[in-house]
Chains A and B, each alone.
Chain A
Amino acid sequence: MNPIISTQDVNLHYGDFHALKSISMDMSRNSVTALIGPSGCGKSTYLRCFNRMNDLVDGVKIKGKIEVDGQDIYSTKVDVVELRRNVGMVFQKPNPFPKSIFDNVAFGLEVGGISDKKFIEERVIRSLNQAALWDEVKDKLKKSAFELSGGQQQRLCIARALAIEPKILLMDEPASALDPISTSKIEELIFSLKKDFTIVIVTHNMQQASRVSDTTAFFYLGELIEVDDTKKIFTNPSKTQTEYYITGRFG
């Protein structure tokens, strides 16, 4: 495997609280990795390590090595803005900017210093297509993003993340606030995006993890209990704790 993300012995403390305990795990290119586990198990914290979102938390301490595309992302030489350009993120709740649909997607490009209108327009159209939203919004690009449904807003946020061509897309429960139809569209989208991007998704929905991911990692109390092929995890997990969690017998 030629991993795009590689973590070795990662420990993370929020003050005195030991949130991640010696996590070592690799993620391969153009794959979908699902992080599952009960609330507070550390899966979102682990996800946020990959674009250094935890840096913003007071009292956080991170030890160990995290490499993205072979580069130690916690090295002092790393430009965090550039890192976040390569590692996009989509959150649980859609968070479009109070701007038009077009401007939402173009935002990252403009902030990045691109002023070529034609280039921006082409990239916006491509991103909206990649996010499977183009057909639904092509006639109302100048309308406010807030006029879109929740599911459409989430796909707009994905288009916004894709516009700056990240290598990795982090998704923190991207469909938990959506109805089944919108959830299905997001899942189809994840599946189609895999050919161009590497996706890491945090989800509480076991069926979603089993449907969309190639690899599943189970976290509990800050520890990585088991990581394996998703088919293996959901048919015959190696660890009893994993079995208990995915079959709803945990605790």
Chain B
Amino acid sequence: MLHIEQEINQLKSSLLEMWDLVITQLENALQSIVDGDKDIAHGVQQHEKRVNGLELAIDRICENFIALNQPVASDLRYVLSGLKINTNLERIADNACGITEYITDTEKEFDKQMLEIMEIEKMLLQAIEMVKDLREAFTFENSTLARTIFKRDKILDKINENGSTQTLICLEQFPNDKRQALHLLSIMRKIERVGDQCKNIAEEIIFYTEAKVVKHKKKGKEKEK
């Protein structure tokens, strides 16, 4: 194996480690909401430092890779997309951590019915599946799988668009839990951001594998294919 390929493998394994960490953060955030488990929420917040540390380590790997190997063509696209994927993964983890702060801030568990109205569990499960599929798309250079993310992000967007209406319903139905309703709206917004970050990662995987820039494409063009 060429030296440059070893370095690429090192970057790949570090990114996959980051991916696993982020998936765990999201899964724990989901569990802490559903179970109202503050310990798990605290665990997510503590692990955030590990995510940040790994983000810095991957940035350094990319910087060294560019400085020492002067990559071109697919190697260059790999490291450029790796840098952006790293940033987006870290932001997803930030959102997972942000979600858990509403759990540690709430005195009692979220009301199950309210969670249902706001479709929080459905959204988070969808976001987790998207992050997992992106991991697979990245591992196997599967741009077709990466492309499925665009439509799936729209599902999250749609739920988020109805967020204000659903919040009003919660406020009416649970007049004594207004704070919870507002917290859930904030959580919804964060999950929607995770969807956007997944979309960014999908764009980077397509850029790396196909040398195509699909971001900022108009509706009906590339992303709808």
Residues in A neighbouring B185, C-beta threshold 8 A: none
Would you list which residues of chain B between 44 and 79 have a CB under 8 Å from chain A?
Answer: 70-77
- A interface: dominant SS: helix
Bound Cα distance from A206 to B76, whole angstroms: 14
Contact B4 A234, beta carbon cutoff 8 Å: no
Q: Which residues of B contact A236 (CB under 8 A)?
A: 73, 77, 211
Render B63-98 as a binary contact track against A, CB cut-off 8 A, 1 for contact.
000000011111111000000000000000000000
A210 touches B2 (CB 8 A): no
The 9 A-B residue pairs whose C-beta atoms are closest, nearest first, are: A236-B211, A234-B72, A246-B72, A243-B73, A247-B75, A247-B73, A207-B70, A246-B73, A237-B73
Do A235 and B73 touch (CB < 8 A)? yes
Q: Which residues of A contact B (CB under 8 A)?
A: 206-207, 210, 234-237, 243, 246-249
* Contacting pair A206 B2 (CB below 8 A): no
Chain B interface size, as a band, is 10 to 19
Contacts of A247 in B (CB 8 A): 4, 71-75
Q: Is the CB of B2 within 8 A of A235?
A: no
What is the total of A-B residue contacts with beta carbons within 8 Å? 30
Give residues in B with beta carbon < 8 Å to A.
2, 4-5, 70-77, 211
CA distance A236 to B75 in the complex (A): 10
Residues of B within 8 A of A234 (CB): 72-73, 76
A243 to B73 alpha-carbon distance, docked (Å) = 7
Query: CA separation between A243 and B75, bound complex, in Å?
Result: 10
CB–CB B74/A243 < 8 A:
yes
Interchain CA distance A210-B74 in the complex, whole Å: 15
Residue with the highest number of chain B CB atoms closer than 10 Å, among A206, A207, A210, A235: A235
B109 → chain A, closest Cβ, in Å? Answer: 52
The answer on a CB contact under 8 Å between B71 and A235 is: no
A-B contact pairs, 14 of them (CB 8 A): A234-B76, A235-B73, A235-B211, A236-B73, A236-B211, A237-B73, A246-B72, A246-B73, A247-B71, A247-B72, A247-B75, A248-B4, A249-B2, A249-B5
